[in-house]
Amino acid sequence: MTAMTNDPITLEIIQNSLQSAADEMFAAMKKTAMSSIIYEVLDMGTGITDAKGEIACSGAGIPAFVGVLDKAVTVIVEKFCEPGAVEPGDVFVTNDPYYGGVTHLNDIVVVMPVFAEDRIIAWTANIAHNSDVGGMAPGSLTGEATEIFQEGLRLPAVKMIARGEPIQPVLEIIKVNSRMPDVLEGDVWAAIASVRIGTARLAEIAEKYGAATFEQAMTSFMDYGERVSRAALKTLPKGTFTLAEEQDDGQVFNVTITIADDEFLVDLRDNPDQATNPVNTSRDGVMVAAQMIFKSLTDPYSPCNAGSFRPIRLLTREGSVFHAKEPAPIGFYYEIDLRVYDVMWRCLAQHMPERLAAGHFASVCGTFIGGIHPDTGRQYTIIEPQLGGWGGREGMDGNTAMFCGFHGETFNCPAEVNEARNGLYVDQMALNVEPGGEGEFTGGRGIVMDYRVRADDGFLTMGYTRSKYPAWPLDGGNEGSPNYVDFIPREGERQRLAFVSGLKTRRDDVIRVVTGNGGGFGDPKKRDPARVRRDVRNGLISAERAQEVYGVTIE
Amino acid sequence: MTKTIRVATDVGGTFTDLLVLESDDANGTSIVRSAKADTTPGGYEEGVFDVMAKGGVAADAVDFLAHGTTVVINALTERTGVKVGLITTQGFRDTLEIARGNRPDFFNLHYQKPEPFVRRSLRRELPGRMDYHGREMQPLDLSPLPDIVADFRAEGVEAVAVCFIHAYANPAHEQAALAELERLWPEVSAISSHQITREWREYERTSTAVLSAYVQPVAERYLQRLDAGLVERDFGGGLYIMQSNCGVDSVDTVSRIPITMVESGPASGVWGAAELGRLIGEPNVLALDIGGTTAKCSLIEDARVRIKTDYWIGRSRATAGYPIMVPVVDLVEIGNGGGSIAWVDDFGKLRVGPRSAGAMPGPAAYGRGGTEATTTDANLWLGRINRDYFCGGAVEADMDAVQKAIEAVGARLGVDADEAARGIVRIANNNMVNALKLVSVNRGFDPRDFTLIAFGGGGAMHAVALAQELGVTKVVVPADASVFSAWGMMMSDLRRDDVVTLLVDLDADHAEAIEAAFAETETRARDRFASEGVDAGAVRLSRFGRFRYQNQEHTTEVPLGADPVTAERVAASEAAFHETYEREYTYRLDAPVEMVGLHVVATVDIGKLSMTARQATGRGLEDARKGTRRVDYALEGIREAAIYDGERLEPGMAFDGPAIVEDSGTTVVVHPGNHAEMDGYGNIRIHIRN
Is A295 a member of any domain? no
Quickly count helices (H) and strands (E) in chain A.
11, 20
A-to-B residue pairs, Cβ atoms closer than 8 angstroms: 197
Is B33 a member of any domain? no
- Interface residue B549 vs chain A (CB under 8 A): yes
Domain boundary among A224, A241, A262: A224
Residue B464 near residue B558, CB atoms below 8 Å: no
3-state secondary structure at position B308 = strand
- The total number of structural domains in chain A stands at 2
- Interface residue A133 vs chain B (CB under 8 A): no
User: What stretches in chain A show pLDDT beneath 70?
Assistant: 1-6, 36, 39-41
A552 phi and psi, to 5 degrees?
Answer: -110, 125
Is A187 a member of any domain? yes
Vertex B548 angle, CA B543 and B550, to 5°: 135
Is A540 a member of any domain? no
The pLDDT value given to residue B358: 78
The pLDDT value given to residue A408: 87
Within this chain, do residues B413 and B508 fall inside the same structural domain, yes or no? no
Of B91, B103, B550, the CB nearest to A428: B91
Is B346 a member of any domain? yes
The pLDDT value given to residue B4: 87
Closest CA–CA distance from residue B423 to any residue of chain A (Å): 6
Closest CA–CA distance from residue A504 to any residue of chain B (Å): 24
Of B347, B413, B554, the CB nearest to A39: B554
Within this chain, do residues B512 and B593 fall inside the same structural domain, yes or no? yes
Of B373, B360, B426, B359, nearest to B404 (Cα)? B373
Strand (E) or helix (H) holding B36: strand B30-38
- Interface residue B431 vs chain A (CB under 8 A): yes
What is the ipTM metric for this complex? Answer: 0.93
Count CB-CB contacts under 10 A for residue B572: 14
- CB–CB of A415 and B165 under 8 A? yes
Residue A515 near residue A521, CB atoms below 8 Å: no
Of A62, A190, A403, the CB nearest to B101: A403
DSSP A86: S
Print the domain residue range for B587. 494-604
Q: What is the pLDDT of residues B525-542, one digit of tens each?
A: 999 999 888 888 899 999
Interfacial A residues in 17-76 facing B (CB < 8 Å): 17, 20, 24, 27-28, 30-36, 39-40, 60, 62-63
Interfacial B residues in 250-309 facing A (CB < 8 Å): none
Arithmetic mean of pLDDT, B165-189 = 97
Is B161 a member of any domain? no
Q: What is the mean pLDDT of chain B?
A: 92
Is B545 a member of any domain? yes
- In terms of Cβ atoms closer than 10 Å to its own Cβ (0-12, 13-18, 19+), residue B56 is exposed
Is A246 a member of any domain? no
Closest CA–CA distance from residue A142 to any residue of chain B (Å): 24
Domain boundary among B546, B576, B604: B604
Strand (E) or helix (H) holding B599: strand B593-604
The pLDDT value given to residue A409: 84
Residue A513 near residue A451, CB atoms below 8 Å: yes
Interfacial A residues in 297-336 facing B (CB < 8 Å): 300-301, 304
- CB–CB of B431 and A428 under 8 A? no
Strand (E) or helix (H) holding B540: strand B539-549
Q: Return the residue in A37, A416, A418 with the most chain B beta carbons within 10 A, the one to mutate for interface testing.
A: A416
Q: Is the peptide bond before B361 cis (omega within 30 degrees of 0)?
A: yes
Arithmetic mean of pLDDT, B56-71 = 92
List the CATH number of the domain containing B513: 3.30.1490
B435 phi and psi, to 5 degrees?
Answer: -65, -40
- CB–CB of B347 and A427 under 8 A? no
Of B100, B323, B129, nearest to A413 (Cα)? B100
Of B121, B350, B438, the CB nearest to A538: B121
Is A202 a member of any domain? yes
- CB–CB of A34 and B413 under 8 A? no
Interfacial B residues in 635-664 facing A (CB < 8 Å): none
Is B217 a member of any domain? no
Q: Which of A79-88, A482-491, B219-228, B586-595 bottoms out in mean pLDDT, i.e. has the lowest?
A: B586-595
The pLDDT value given to residue B1: 57
Judging contacts by C-beta atoms under 8 Å, the chain B residues touching residue A360 are none
- The total number of structural domains in chain B stands at 2
Output the furthest CA–CA distance in chain B (Å, rounded): 81
Distance CA B530, CA B292 (A): 42
- Interface residue A429 vs chain B (CB under 8 A): yes
Judging contacts by C-beta atoms under 8 Å, the chain A residues touching residue B165 are 415-416
The phi-psi region of residue A245 (left if phi > 0; otherwise alpha if psi is between -120 and 50; otherwise beta) is beta
- Interface residue A352 vs chain B (CB under 8 A): no
The pLDDT value given to residue B610: 78
Print the domain residue range for A371. 357-522
3-state secondary structure at position B343 = strand
Interfacial A residues in 231-270 facing B (CB < 8 Å): 231
User: SS3 letters for A441-476?
Assistant: ECCCCCEEEEEEECCCCEEEEEECCCCCCCCCCECC
- CB–CB of A196 and B552 under 8 A? no
Q: Does the pLDDT at position B222 exceed 50? A: yes
Q: Return the residue in B86, B95, B96, B106 with the most chain A beta carbons within 10 A, the one to mutate for interface testing.
A: B106
Q: Does the pLDDT at position B266 exceed 50? A: yes
Judging contacts by C-beta atoms under 8 Å, the chain A residues touching residue B168 are 416
The pLDDT value given to residue B170: 97
DSSP A548: I
Closest CA–CA distance from residue A538 to any residue of chain B (Å): 5
The pLDDT value given to residue A29: 86
Interfacial B residues in 84-113 facing A (CB < 8 Å): 90-95, 97-113
Judging contacts by C-beta atoms under 8 Å, the chain B residues touching residue A227 are 347
Q: Does the pLDDT at position B658 exceed 90? A: yes
Closest CA–CA distance from residue A273 to any residue of chain B (Å): 31
Residue B214 near residue B190, CB atoms below 8 Å: no
Beta bridge partners of B68: B10
Q: Which residues contact A429 (CB under 8 A, 6 or more apart)?
A: A415, A447, A448, A449, A450, B91, B92, B94, B95, B98
- Interface residue A396 vs chain B (CB under 8 A): yes
Is B596 a member of any domain? yes
Q: Does the pLDDT at position B614 exceed 90? A: no
Domain boundary among A204, A224, A244: A224
Considering only CA atoms, give the Rg of chain B.
26
Of B110, B347, B589, the CB nearest to A227: B347
Is A441 a member of any domain? yes
- Interface residue A124 vs chain B (CB under 8 A): no
Q: Is the peptide bond before B171 cis (omega within 30 degrees of 0)?
A: no
Is A198 a member of any domain? yes
DSSP B565: P
Q: Which residues contact B243 (CB under 8 A, 6 or more apart)?
A: B249, B254, B260, B261, B264, B267, B495
Interfacial B residues in 316-375 facing A (CB < 8 Å): 346-350
